[in-house]
């Protein structure tokens, strides 16, 4: 009966009210995913609107400074709207149009998915409403302004911890109120089937490109691919086409906040256990009675108590590794990459850079590492300055 | 089969919902006695969850009050409450909660404790038909009814859901989350008919019913009505003094549906 499993994870744990809506998405997705016309349109928007393919850049100075393997950066930060989020949004919006929807709703943490959704909604002439935890609207005020500028309505959510988890909950609630004309553009590889599969497929363009680009540049596959993980969409995108290539280490970098030995963490695989929430079975940070934990990370985009079900499965079968990275380490990496390469990464992506800084020196010179720079860090500058005690506001 | 059918045997059933531990477990206990005394036929006990995705603001706040720092009600505390209640209460009682509360407790441990303590069924808004197997085989083993929900959007799904249902069917009256509504526009009669075409099982309507007039109207089309937010609002207003006010409210609702 149950659909969309990755091992024991995944499924469709949602209210009956939404079941037909989700089934409609599933049917539309399978109808169009291999449709030549749909894919032609998708590729055209990827290229002409989002600016794909994104570059794979050999980080010469970073490689030299760390003194280990060769390091390449996958530049998802160069996409239109400044992150990988647009890959999924374009795909889902094309689908929503074909499903006859005129209105889209979406959750956002750091604001990157909200901005991408508002952007594509503007371009396609669709009504757009974004749900964002109030705490995050403060942390990411600039992105709130961008969304409004793009014509979206932004709802600040006060329930729960007023962060990403609550934004997801509230968007699901909104969807149960208004289904006929509305599609929920879920921003990560999470939620009920078919979202984890569909979002992964739209994001897998990242690893498809990396594979071609690295083979062209080096004539061989990388030894390791690193990406930050909250829900896990940029990571699964960067991992997907390497899953079968067992020689490629896949490393997801979780937000450990103030450390995995504290309660102020969002490192789901490292501190959570299997549970059922937000439409899926997966790992969640929770207490002994299954109450979802109030997680914490400096990064609003990784500040989520769960992880996508495919990551949970890749962890279970030991195909991918999930490592914790603290706020401090991420902020150091944010500043380091800015200084060494002239690339300001999103604080989310900086978590992957931070782990690369630990791992690269221990790898051989002939080995190759790819770090997915999932987004650009302009949005984080004020918050990082505040973290360092400089009182600047946008 | 559990005792749930007994709630629908004599007349239209009135099914009140409250969140356990709101404002504290002592009050919950007293409220249940009052509701039974006022004529409630089946009691729906909410086990609070940190992120109640199917609830509107009224019940969300009840969950926060129950889980708050001073209160911190746990699943074990609620089983203790049920043991106490069962010394006096003979009407069927069901839990309403979320999948993770059960899964995290250990599904078999939770469901076997339901049986031991005298719980008759489970209402889980985040378990649709497709995910029934998560708990239903264990529920069947312990004679606990896993209540199926149908919604205004269910359409062609109603047949499948109904044919496999046990206890009663929870007919969700409106789109959206729980909470009081001024008007219910869904054709409940048509929904109930689709169920009855497939299976002779009681149908109770919930979501949005807040006054005797609505309750009376809904009860014409169904075998029972479920009222949650309207009662939780009274508890929010009167706190520890709420039992008598809830009793009064239930009495007025019961009078109008029979």
pLDDT at A161: 85
Q: Does position A373 have pLDDT exceeding 60, yes or no?
A: yes
pLDDT at A13: 98
The overall average pLDDT reported for chain A is: 96
Instruction: List CB contacts (< 8 A) between B98 and chain A.
Output: 276-277
Q: Do B176 and A173 lie within an 8 Å CB cutoff?
A: yes
Instruction: List CB contacts (< 8 A) between A165 and chain B.
Output: 51
| CATH number of the domain residue B213 falls in | 3.20.20.70
Instruction: List CB contacts (< 8 A) between A289 and chain B.
Output: 74-75, 101, 104-105
pLDDT at B180: 83
B175: closest chain A residue by CA: A177
CA dihedral A351, A132, A111, A74 (to 10 degrees): 50
A179 touches chain B (CB under 8 A): yes
pLDDT at A56: 98
pLDDT at A140: 86
Q: Using 50, 70 and 90 to split pLDDT, how confident is the model at A1?
A: low
Nearest to A276 among B99, B130, B150 (CB): B99
pLDDT at B183: 80
Give the residue-averaged pLDDT of A96-107: 98
Picking from A123, A120, A95, A77, the residue whose alpha carbon sits closest to that of residue A228 is A77
A264 catalytic residue (yes or no): no
Encode pLDDT of A134-145 as tens digits. 989 988 888 999
Q: Does position A393 have pLDDT exceeding 70, yes or no?
A: no
Q: Do B50 and A278 lie within an 8 Å CB cutoff?
A: no
Q: Do B177 and A173 lie within an 8 Å CB cutoff?
A: yes
Beta strands in A163-232 (DSSP E): 182-184, 224-229
Tell me which residue range forms the domain holding B218: 3-257
Look up the CATH number of domain A5-46+84-199: 3.40.50.1100
A33 catalytic residue (yes or no): no
Give Dmax over CA atoms of chain A in angstroms: 56
Q: Does position A302 have pLDDT exceeding 80, yes or no?
A: yes
Q: Which fold would CATH assign to domain A52-82+204-387?
A: Rossmann fold (3.40.50)
Helix (H) or strand (E) holding B122: strand B121-123
Structure tokens at A270: 């490292």
Mean pLDDT by 10 residues, chain B (258 residues): 91 97 98 98 98 94 93 96 98 98 98 98 98 98 98 96 97 90 87 96 94 91 96 98 98 93
Q: Does position A288 have pLDDT exceeding 90, yes or no?
A: yes
pLDDT at B258: 85
Where along chain A do its domains lie? 5-46+84-199, 52-82+204-387
Percent of chain A with pLDDT over 90: 93
Q: Do A275 and B100 lie within an 8 Å CB cutoff?
A: yes
Q: Does position A220 have pLDDT exceeding 90, yes or no?
A: yes
Nearest to A289 among B74, B125, B175 (CB): B74
Give the span between the Cα atoms of A187 and A237, in whole angstroms: 13
* Residue A326, beta-bridge partner list: A257
pTM, whole model, 2 decimals?
0.96
Q: Do A16 and B149 lie within an 8 Å CB cutoff?
A: yes
Give the residue-averaged pLDDT of A21-28: 97
B96 touches chain A (CB under 8 A): no
Please state the separation of Cα A31 from the chain's center in Å: 25
Q: Does position A88 have pLDDT exceeding 80, yes or no?
A: yes
pLDDT at A139: 80
A97 catalytic residue (yes or no): no
Pairing of strands A70-75, A56-58: antiparallel
B132 touches chain A (CB under 8 A): yes
Interface test with B, best of A290, A294, A305, A306 (most B CBs within 10 A): A290
pLDDT at A217: 98
CB < 8 Å from B in window 275-304 of A: 275-279, 284, 286, 288-292
Nearest to A290 among B53, B104, B133 (CB): B104
- Written as one string, the DSSP assignment of A42-92 is HHHHHHHTS-PSPPEEE-HHHHHHHTSSEEEEEEGGGSGGGBTHHHHHHHH
Q: Which of A70, A83, A101, A107 is catalytic?
A: A107
Give the span between the Cα atoms of A346 and B247, in whole angstroms: 56
Percent of chain A with pLDDT over 70: 99
Give the span between the Cα atoms of B144 and B1, in whole angstroms: 7
Give the residue-averaged pLDDT of A300-327: 97
Q: Using 50, 70 and 90 to split pLDDT, how confident is the model at A154?
A: very high
Give the residue-averaged pLDDT of A86-115: 97
B157 touches chain A (CB under 8 A): yes
Q: Do B131 and A179 lie within an 8 Å CB cutoff?
A: no
Instruction: List CB contacts (< 8 A) between A160 and chain B.
Output: 50-51
Instruction: List CB contacts (< 8 A) between A273 and chain B.
Output: 104
pLDDT at A394: 55
Helix (H) or strand (E) holding A98: helix A85-98
ipTM: 0.96
Q: Do A290 and B130 lie within an 8 Å CB cutoff?
A: no
Q: Do B130 and A19 lie within an 8 Å CB cutoff?
A: yes
Q: Does position A290 have pLDDT exceeding 80, yes or no?
A: yes
In three-state secondary structure terms, A308 is: coil
Nearest to A14 among B74, B128, B154 (CB): B128
Q: How many domains does chain B have?
A: 1
């Amino acid at each position: 009966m149950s659909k969309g499993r990755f091992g024991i994870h995944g499924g469709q744990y949602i209210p009956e009210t939404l079941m037909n809506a989700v089934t409609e998405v599933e049917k539309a997705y399978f109808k169009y995913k291999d449709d030549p016309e749909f894919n032609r349109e998708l590729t055209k928007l990827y290229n002409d609107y989002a600016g794909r393919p994104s570059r794979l850049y050999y980080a010469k100075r970073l490689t030299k400074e760390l003194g280990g393997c060769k390091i390449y950066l996958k530049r998802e930060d160069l996409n239109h709207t400044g992150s990988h989020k647009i890959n999924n949004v374009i795909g889902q919006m094309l689908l929503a149009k074909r499903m006859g929807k005129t209105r889209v709703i979406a959750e956002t943490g750091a604001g990157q998915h909200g901005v991408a959704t508002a952007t594509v909604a503007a371009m396609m002439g669709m009504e757009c409403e974004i749900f964002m935890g109030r705490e995050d609207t403060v942390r990411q005020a600039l992105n709130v302004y961008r969304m409004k500028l793009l014509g979206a309505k932004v709802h600040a959510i006060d329930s729960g911890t007023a962060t990403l988890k609550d934004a997801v909950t509230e968007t699901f609630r909104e969807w149960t109120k208004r289904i006929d004309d509305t599609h929920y553009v879920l921003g990560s590889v999470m939620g009920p089937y078919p979202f984890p599969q569909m979002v992964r497929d739209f994001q897998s363009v990242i690893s498809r490109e990396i594979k071609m680009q690295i083979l062209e540049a080096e004539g061989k596959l990388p030894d390791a691919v690193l990406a930050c993980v909250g829900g896990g969409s940029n990571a699964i995108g960067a991992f997907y086409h390497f899953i079968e290539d067992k020689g490629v280490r896949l490393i997801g970098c979780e937000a450990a906040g103030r450390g995995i030995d504290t309660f102020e963490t969002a490192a789901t695989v490292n501190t959570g256990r299997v549970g059922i929430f937000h439409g899926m079975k997966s790992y969640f940070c929770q207490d002994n009675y299954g109450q979802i934990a109030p997680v914490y990370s400096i990064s609003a985009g990784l500040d989520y108590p769960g992880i996508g079900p495919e990551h949970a499965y890749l962890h279970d079968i030991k195909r991918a590794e999930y490592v914790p990275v603290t706020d401090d380490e991420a902020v150091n990496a944010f500043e380091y990459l800015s200084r060494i390469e002239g690339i300001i990464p999103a604080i989310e992506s900086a978590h992957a850079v931070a782990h690369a800084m630990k791992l690269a020196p221990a790898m051989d010179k002939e080995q190759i590492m790819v770090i997915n720079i999932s987004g650009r860090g302009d949005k984080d500058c004020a918050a990082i300055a505040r973290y360092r005690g400089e009182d600047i506001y946008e | 089969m559990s005792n749930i059918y007994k709630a629908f045997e004599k007349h239209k059933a009135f099914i009140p919902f409250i969140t356990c531990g709101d404002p504290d477990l002592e009050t919950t206990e007293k409220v249940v006695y009052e509701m039974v005394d006022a004529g409630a036929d089946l009691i729906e006990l909410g086990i609070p969850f940190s992120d109640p995705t199917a609830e509107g603001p009224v019940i969300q706040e009840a969950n926060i009050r129950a889980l708050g720092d001073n209160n911190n009600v746990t699943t074990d505390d609620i089983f203790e409450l049920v043991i106490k209640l069962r010394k006096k209460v003979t009407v069927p009682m069901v839990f309403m909660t979320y999948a993770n509360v059960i899964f995290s407790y250990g599904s078999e441990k939770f469901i076997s404790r339901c049986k031991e303590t005298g719980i008759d069924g489970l209402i889980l808004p985040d378990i649709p038909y497709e995910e029934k197997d998560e708990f239903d085989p264990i529920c069947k083993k312990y004679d606990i009814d896993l209540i199926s929900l149908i919604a205004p959007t269910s359409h062609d799904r109603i047949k499948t859901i109904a044919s496999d249902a046990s206890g009663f069917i929870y007919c969700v009256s409106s789109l959206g989350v729980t909470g009081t509504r001024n008007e219910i526009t869904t054709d409940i009669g048509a929904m109930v008919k689709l169920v009855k075409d497939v299976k002779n099982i009681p149908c109770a309507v919930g979501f949005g019913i807040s006054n005797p007039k609505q309750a009376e109207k809904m009860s014409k089309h169904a075998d029972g009505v479920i009222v949650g937010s309207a009662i939780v609002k009274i508890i929010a207003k009167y706190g520890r003094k709420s039992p008598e006010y809830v009793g009064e409210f239930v009495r007025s609702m019961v009078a109008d549906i029979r």
